[in-house]
């Protein structure tokens, strides 16, 4: 029987990416939405590691199945590591990519040291808690204005020196090879045999996982 791993996101792009990468292995990737709405994980960690783990273990515990999650963002040392774990909501809870990018550009007006890194952490957790973690990083510099139209988020201002282009000037294939997420995923798949063995051992040691129904009394249900 195939092993099931639940992907703790409803982002269709990420689900497709994981499914296509893992299609050659004996693993079935399912989305949380296949199981109906569950309460959202509280992403209040101070690091990408913490938030990736919170999302993965929350979903694993509730559904009684192994779950995988990723967390990523942009880190700019000259402005104290901002936007960091707040990358998605830097200019406010429902801010657009353009608003977040504009806030960063304003914060960096006159700043000479424009080095920046995209970081991504992938966490695979089993229902009883233990997890495996994979990381990827991509270094670049922040331009003074946007360039290019592809990608998302901070891509138009993230200049990747090796290619002399911003991430928004790269094709998705080019970006995936060098990006933080591409590297973290490559690290994960490079040891997929070990991952599968680890999962087999952890799940055999656990009592048959019972879904954590206590979470379902939560009022703040989310479809995301």
Bridge partners, residue 107, by sequence:
none
Question: What is the rounded distance in angstroms from the CA atom of residue 16 to the CA atom of residue 26?
Answer: 16
Query: Binding residue for ligand IMP (CB under 6 A) from 18, 53, 134, 154?
Result: 154
Query: Binding residue for ligand IMP (CB under 6 A) from 12, 16, 115, 152?
Result: 152
Does position 153 interact with ligand IMP (CB under 6 A)? The reply is yes
Tokens 């309460």 locate to: 39
Site string for ligand IMP, 111-150 (x = CB under 6 A): -------x--------------------------------
49 catalytic per annotation: no
Does position 72 interact with ligand IMP (CB under 6 A)? The reply is yes
Query: Binding residue for ligand IMP (CB under 6 A) from 8, 55, 63, 71?
Result: 71
We find the least distance from the C-beta atom of residue 155 to ligand IMP, in angstroms, to be: 4
Query: Binding residue for ligand IMP (CB under 6 A) from 126, 179, 184, 202?
Result: 179
Does position 59 interact with ligand IMP (CB under 6 A)? The reply is no
Of all residues in this chain, which one has the CB nearest to ligand IMP in the complex? 153
Does position 216 interact with ligand IMP (CB under 6 A)? The reply is no
Query: Binding residue for ligand IMP (CB under 6 A) from 155, 160, 182, 195?
Result: 155
Mark 107-140 as b/e (b = at least 16 C-beta within 10 Å).
bbeeeeebebbbbbbbbbbbbeeebbbbbbebeb
Marked catalytic residue, from 71, 97, 212, 220: 71
Torsion of CA 69, 49, 21, 89, to 10 degrees: 60
Q: Find how far residue 189's CA is from the centre of its chain.
A: 15
We find the least distance from the C-beta atom of residue 170 to ligand IMP, in angstroms, to be: 10
Question: What is the total residue count of the chain?
Answer: 224
Q: Which is nearer to ligand IMP, 73 or 127 (CB)?
A: 73
Residues serving a catalytic function are 71
| Residue ranges in contact with ligand IMP by CB under 6 A | 70-74, 87-88, 100, 118, 151-155, 167, 179
């Amino acid at each position: 029987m195939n092993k099931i791993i639940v992907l703790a996101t409803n982002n269709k792009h990420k689900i497709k990416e994981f499914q296509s990468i893992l299609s050659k292995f004996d693993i079935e990737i399912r989305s949380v939405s296949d199981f109906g709405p569950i309460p959202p994980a509280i992403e209040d960690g101070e690091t990408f590691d913490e938030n990736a783990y919170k999302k993965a273990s929350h979903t694993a515990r509730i559904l009684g199945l192994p779950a995988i999650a990723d967390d990523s963002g942009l880190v700019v040392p000259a402005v104290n590591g901002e936007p960091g774990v707040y990358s998605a909501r830097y200019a406010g809870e429902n801010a657009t990519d353009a608003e977040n990018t504009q806030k960063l550009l304003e914060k960096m007006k006159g700043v000479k040291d424009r080095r920046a890194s995209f970081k991504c952490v992938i966490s695979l957790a089993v229902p009883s808690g233990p997890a495996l973690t994979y990381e990827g990083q991509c270094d670049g510099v922040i331009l003074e204005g946007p360039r290019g139209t592809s990608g998302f988020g901070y891509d138009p201002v993230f200049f990747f020196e090796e290619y002399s282009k911003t991430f928004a000037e790269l094709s998705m294939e080019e970006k995936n090879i060098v990006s933080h997420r591409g590297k973290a995923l490559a690290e994960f798949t490079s040891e997929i045999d070990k991952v599968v063995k680890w999962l087999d051992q952890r799940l055999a040691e656990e009592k048959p996982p019972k879904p954590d129904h206590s979470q379902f009394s939560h009022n703040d249900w989310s479809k995301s």
